[in-house]
Structure 1
Amino acid sequence: MIRVLVVDDQALVRGSFRLLVDTAPDLAVVGEAATGLEAVDAARRLRPDVVLMDVRMPDLDGIEATRRIIADPVTAEVKVLVLTTFDIDEYVFGALRAGASGFLLKDTRPGDLLDAIRVVAGGEALLAPTATRRLIEQFVRHAPQQPASVELPDTTEREREVLALVGAGLSNTEIAQRLHISVSTTKTHIGRLLMKLGARDRAQLVIIAFQSGLARP
């Protein structure tokens, strides 16, 4: 069972998300929060698998709340899926930098949102299609860059090939087809990359791929 914490300053929205999530046999809402500070506290108390996080909230916005949850050793393993009405670059970029594993708009179809929760809970990153390319371009343009000659310690040539394709936005199935390997082998390579590079999830692998020069916008 995937345990979900719903965070939004509007009670009606929280209730709608709770009803939707609880319709899935493998998902369950374990709590709600109406502000960023409440979200941080609830994450510590409840230890959910996934937090559905709004951006615009009183006392502490969702981006800062996400940063605090990820930075806290008690909740460092909690995955955050940011949901917002506004498709704004600042929100997308800020969510990823804060450690969020996903970013979606609130007009996402119900079934797609449930699938997104499962994907994020499984350790993969998920971004709204309209945000993906802009996010990568924002990161490359504004984020501090490592030297272009930076090397990836202890990674094999095959792992670097996989990392480059992750940076290009390919799914596990697409990577497997491109490299003529099985999906399970692809997942093994990605798991080893996460461990060797100290990355929390697939979103951070995308960042590393660009920082190392393996991927370019």
Structure 2
Amino acid sequence: MTASPPDTTPIRVVIADDQALIRAGYATILGAQPDIEVVGEAEDGRAAVDLAQRLRPDVVVMDVRMPRLDGIAATRLIAGPGVEHPARVLVVTTFQLDEYVYEALRAGASGFLLKDAGPAQLIDAVRTVAAGDALLSPAVTGALLGRFADRVRPSAPRPDDDPRLARLTPRELDVFAAMARGDSNAEIAEALVISRETVKTYVSRILLKLELRDRVHAVVYAYRSGLAVPER
């Protein structure tokens, strides 16, 4: 069962996949939704970057293995650091490998979905990513980054030494630490004895102060800053 479409302007989507049949299938599924508009299709990573720069879509549905430029490199050029008009990238692939998820997140992706997911999951994924939420569970992300901790956080800096973390109040640090563990808003509210609306407010402030786009990237940052330490 898909989430109810929001009462906003349509979500503008670009589909990037080297297989025409898959592109057509995605376009048919997504284009049938009243709140989603497919504005372009790309058969390789370079074309995806060109379309994203020209059309400025809300979401790019991105395959990983494509000619000319692979999906990870294309994601970095569309959603990575320093991009002037970044789009949110939903990586969709047949390869269920931690390495792909890790590299996609590092490149700036906001979601990760396997190609064997059903139409309803694809629709929900696009809506979720477009809304600024992370598709991949923060708990799963934390476990994943724990495996790659040496590359994510090679020097293990102290949280007290991080100037961006210094922007957070003690209460915001408590909420951020809970986010890094993968706790939901409900779990954070119960643990800190505050309302869920208050948690949402804290989460928004944390993402704003740390200049992060969603909760998944908050988990990535927590590991890189040393606030979160992977279990060995």
Letter matched to residue 168 of structure 1: R
- CA drift of 1:107 comes to 1.1
- TM-score with structure 2 setting the length: 0.85
Letter matched to residue 22 of structure 1: G
Choose from 174, 188, 209 the match for 1:161.
174
Structure 1 window deviating more from structure 2 (82-91 vs 204-213): it is: 204-213
Letter matched to residue 27 of structure 2: R
Choose from 94, 111, 115 the match for 1:106.
115
Query: Would you say the 8 A contact 2:16–2:63 is kept in 1?
Result: yes
- CA drift of 1:169 comes to 1.6
Choose from 84, 95, 99 the match for 1:74.
84
* Distance in 2 (alpha carbons) for counterparts of 1:83 and 1:194: 25
Gaps of 5+ in 2: 1-9
* Distance in 2 (alpha carbons) for counterparts of 1:214 and 1:130: 15
SS for the counterpart of 2:223 is helix
* Distance in 1 (alpha carbons) for counterparts of 2:153 and 2:227: 16
The equivalent residue for 2:190 is 177
- After superposition, the CA RMSD in angstroms is 2.1
Q: Would the alpha carbon gap of residues 10 and 169 (structure 1) be closer, same or farther in structure 2, given more than 3 Å must change?
A: same
* Distance in 2 (alpha carbons) for counterparts of 1:52 and 1:81: 5
- TM-score with structure 1 setting the length: 0.90
Query: Would you say the 8 A contact 1:50–1:117 is kept in 2?
Result: yes
SS for the counterpart of 1:31 is strand
The equivalent residue for 1:41 is 50
Say whether 1:97 aligns with 2:110: no
Q: Would the alpha carbon gap of residues 129 and 5 (structure 1) be closer, same or farther in structure 2, given more than 3 Å must change?
A: same
Choose from 12, 21, 44 the match for 2:21.
12
Say whether 1:116 aligns with 2:155: no
- CA drift of 1:67 comes to 0.3
Identity of aligned residues (%): 52
1:123-155 C-alpha deviation (Å, 9 max, x unpaired) = 121227996455222332322345442222121
Letter matched to residue 75 of structure 1: H
SS for the counterpart of 1:52 is strand
* Distance in 2 (alpha carbons) for counterparts of 1:147 and 1:93: 18
The equivalent residue for 1:25 is 34
- CA drift of 1:159 comes to 1.0
Query: Would you say the 8 A contact 2:138–2:181 is kept in 1?
Result: no
Gaps of 5+ in 1: none
The equivalent residue for 2:5 is none
